[in-house]
Amino acid sequence: MTKENHEYHDMNMGNVQTPHNHMNHDGHMAHENHIHNHMAMSDMSGMTHDHMHMHGEGMAGMDMSDLKRRFWLSLILSVPLILITPLMGMALPFTLTFTGSNWVTLILALLIFMIGAQPFLVGAKTELQAKKPAMMALVAMGLSVSLGYSLYAFVANLLGHTHVMDFFFEFATLTVIMLLGHWLEMSTTMSAGDATAKLRELMPETIHHLMADNHVHDMPIARLAAGMQVRVLAGEKIPGDGKIVTGQTQINEALVTGESRLVDKSVGSDVIGGTVNGEGTIDLMITGAGQTSYLGQLQQTLNHTQDEKSAAETLADRVASWLFYIALAAAVIALLVWTPQRGLSFAISMSVTVLVIACPHALGLAVPLVVARTKSISAANGVLIKNRKVLPAAKNIRYALMDKTGTLTTGEFAVKKIWLLTTDLASDDEVLDLAAALDSQSTHPLARSIVKKAKHAKMADHVKNIAGYGVTGQIDKISYSLVSARYLSENGLNLEAKSASDLDEIAASEETISYLVSDGRVLAAIAQGDVIKPSAQSFISDLRAQGIVPVMVTGDSLATAKKVAQVLGLEAGSIHAQVNPQEKLALIASYQEKGKVLMIGDGINDAPALAKADISFAIGAGTQVAQASADAVLAGNELTGIVAFLGLAKRAAKKEVQNLWWGAGYNLLAIPLAAGILAPIGLILDPMVGAVLMSLSTVIVAVNALSLRK
């Protein structure tokens, strides 16, 4: 591609060279690096969507590297602070306090507050503004109260008025533990912005604007608009939706529409932005760009769907919300009850103790530790978790909706059948050897599968590409061509076969068919199509064994879908064909009315459905858009591992609930004790004892999470 503002002169359709280009499975040119184009898709450049939902949206906008940095700095500062606190002096056989150690403690605590508390204070503000206090508000309340009261205690002790217990230990440990929990959680969460960014990467940086004088002027894609005429060279990405006005080509639209065959395109044909042009050069009249294009509308649908899914409140948030109100109520009651009996100073200390005890140390790690453990086990089994919500959602999955092309099938072309139409050639192998000789220098997906299948490819001379039709060359001084059906019809070549049934099979075939031609006669026909994955049949059987109903959802034709379904044993009522992304989304919603839905896909057209489903898996060999939209990604191209993951996820979800019960249970027991509910019989929870119990509950939660096994 030329540099910006360079003009092509005398660039007529007849003298443009159309080299063969290697196209990989996800539709990108293999020799190109992924383009990080932030102006791509015109108006879509302003449609970035970097929302990340963490505990009541409290961590929205937080960068994981920033959170990691805050955690490590807070931990480093907390270690000396903890070692010189009175609590550690009681636990160790020696004391580490020294003259001025109280000042060191104060300085360290203030530094920890400035570094580590800021994310929680911002998150609490967001939750309180939304009138939905949850984990962030509970943590911020604990941090603020523990530090604030500790500052009061420091001043009181410094002035020597009285000895007041501080909460520097509790403040430091809470900050570090909560930062660790949210760092772990953020590491398993991917924002919607990743998916939409991958959509933008499907578009080229530059377009070839065809001027009125037939000169081509390169310009940024941000200037693309409906009504413009652009030129797309062989192997280039199509910049927007449009209609071909000059030229012919073949386009693989499988990852966008689900159509498994190469689609012939000629004058008047519609093309979709983001797909990759084949080996012909075409001129387009743009009909849709930016938000009005197919991918633009898909992006808007994806954003809306991910917003809906991320808005779901987690169980940990609900528990934290309950504890927030319980702790606040208990603190107020303690203040009102103890003030007339023991004075304001004692009542305040009791209220502060309640709020500090309510700090969710164990609760903050209850879910992240289980998710981290599950993520580690799953990665070893070839399943990469991206969204922590897959664990609770794994329970009671009722339906598994699966894309066909690239999910149940390999998504790659393979030779399916060969018809010998004359007596000139003796065997299928001879046909393949001749075809492979013509295709040996081509990187077209159809060519690659023929070359791969051939056993003894011959050498071809004078090989030339017939743009949009096929290839021609000489083998042993005899001219041969490997062309499409359109080439036959446009050049008056008729099919003749030894058997009428062969012609019937060819006419009825849903595969992509190429024809080997020599001296004006069609010698053979080669059918190429998608291949069902070896693991697909056993995977569907495993789903049924778990009581999950398998359903095929594809953008491909009904006839092709039925062929695959028949092999896999899918019922007719479980097949949905010729479905576009919006219809896939509607199907997900329809099935969700009857039960929880799992979605598996690999294409761009699967992205909204992957985002909408209760649990979604993207094929590792599929598009990055699908991977960014899914909750988990399969490391390879096979389906094995999903059923095992569902079992692991169910066990992990139980661990989450156990940890949440333990974390919340400790708080629910400790809060009334700290408020002095047993004071009439002489039992008041000492803050130091409370801190020890708090640490013990955190250890129990960690051990329970690590007990999760494969």
Residues with catalytic roles:
403
Q: What is the DSSP letter of 3?
A: P
DSSP 459-492: --EEEEEETTTEEEEEETTEEEEEE-HHHHHHTT
Rounded CA-CA distance 363/98 in Å is 35
Rounded CA-CA distance 244/229 in Å is 10
E strand segments, 530-584? 549-553, 575-576
Contacts of 455 (CB under 8 A, 6+ apart): 429, 432, 433
Which tokens belong to 41?
Answer: 């898709």
Contacts of 601 (CB under 8 A, 6+ apart): 402, 403, 406, 407, 607, 609, 610, 616, 617, 618, 619, 622, 626, 630
Rounded CA-CA distance 529/283 in Å is 28
Q: Helix (H, G, I), strand (E, B), or coil: what is residue 677?
A: coil
Rounded CA-CA distance 73/285 in Å is 57
Max Cα–Cα distance, the chain, nearest Å: 112
- SS3 helix, strand, coil % of the chain, rounded to 5? 50, 15, 35
Rounded CA-CA distance 467/651 in Å is 56
- Can you give the length of the chain in residues? 710
Residue in 597, 574, 618 with CA at minimum distance from that of residue 194 = 618
Which tokens belong to 191?
Answer: 């924002």
Q: What are the start-end ranges of the H helices in 84-161?
A: 86-91, 101-112, 118-129, 135-159
Rounded CA-CA distance 54/59 in Å is 5
Rounded CA-CA distance 489/481 in Å is 15
Rounded CA-CA distance 490/308 in Å is 51
